[in-house]
Amino acid sequence: MGVIRSGLHAKTRALTTAGGLALLVAALLWPAGAQAIPVGSGTCGKTTIGKVADQLIANQKRVNRCVLPVNATISELVFYVAPTSHSGSQVLAGIFYADSKGKPGARLGTTGKFTFSSKEAAGWHHFIFGTPLKLAAGNYWMGVISGATTLVAGERYDSVANAEDYNNNTYSSGPSNPFGSFKVTSEQMSLYATYTAG
């Protein structure tokens, strides 16, 4: 499956066909630092690297809103993770919740675990659902739950008013169902879901 853009070199690539011209326009408009998206797929969430760095506190879950414009199947979440000044490793997992009157409600899915090492470089990491989520068009909440080791994995975000809901949740107990009471911050994480329509 093709890719709309794989880097800044796409801007200078010689394209002569009408289809090539369309791809060149897409490349010029695609934000710098954005993760390339396969043609025919859609995303909800933030596909660019945020300007602000933060460290993930142990045993917390945090979610941002995901708006699906069509009925869709979601197989993964993609999260930008970076090392911090703390050494070691930290376990993370992706989480997905239904919307309940504008708030995160029932848990719909949890990805397999991902262990981030302080020796790894910053980058986009794929969190895969064992069973893809088949969802109707509408509002949802997606995010990450962090393991018992604290502050080893870092995130990037941009400030958007009331973007994030979070609460304490022991990782070993699994993400709660429903989401539970929460606090609100203005952190829109560099996190997105990829989906296929239908």
The residue extents of the domains of the chain are 1-30, 42-197
- Residue positions counted in the chain: 198
Residue 157 has pLDDT above 80, yes or no: yes
User: pLDDT class for 15, splitting at 50, 70, 90?
Assistant: very low
Residue 5 has pLDDT above 60, yes or no: no
d(CA 137, CA 71): 5
pTM more than 0.75: yes
Residue 20 has pLDDT above 80, yes or no: no
Between 147 and 32, where is the model more confident? 147
99 CB-near residues (< 8 Å, 6+ apart): 65, 105, 138, 139, 140, 141
Residue 82 has pLDDT above 70, yes or no: yes
User: pLDDT class for 10, splitting at 50, 70, 90?
Assistant: very low
pLDDT at residue 34 in the model: 53
Q: Which helix (H) or strand (E) holds 22?
A: helix 18-29
pLDDT at residue 32 in the model: 52
Between 115 and 38, where is the model more confident? 115
pLDDT tens digits, one per residue of 24-78: 434 444 455 555 544 448 999 999 999 999 999 999 999 999 999 999 999 999 9
Residue 16 has pLDDT above 70, yes or no: no
Whether domain 42-197 has CATH 3.40.720: no
User: pLDDT class for 198, splitting at 50, 70, 90?
Assistant: confident
Tokens standing for residue 39: 């043609």
| Residue in 120, 128, 40 with CA at minimum distance from that of residue 88 | 120
pLDDT at residue 1 in the model: 37
pLDDT at residue 154 in the model: 98
The DSSP secondary structure of 116-138, one letter per residue, reads: EETTSPPEEEEEEEEEEEEE-SE
Between 175 and 37, where is the model more confident? 175
pLDDT at residue 120 in the model: 97
d(CA 156, CA 159): 10
| Residue in 95, 120, 117, 114 with CA at minimum distance from that of residue 106 | 95
Q: Is the distance from CB of 61 to CB of 107 less than 8 angstroms?
A: no
Mean pLDDT of the chain: 86
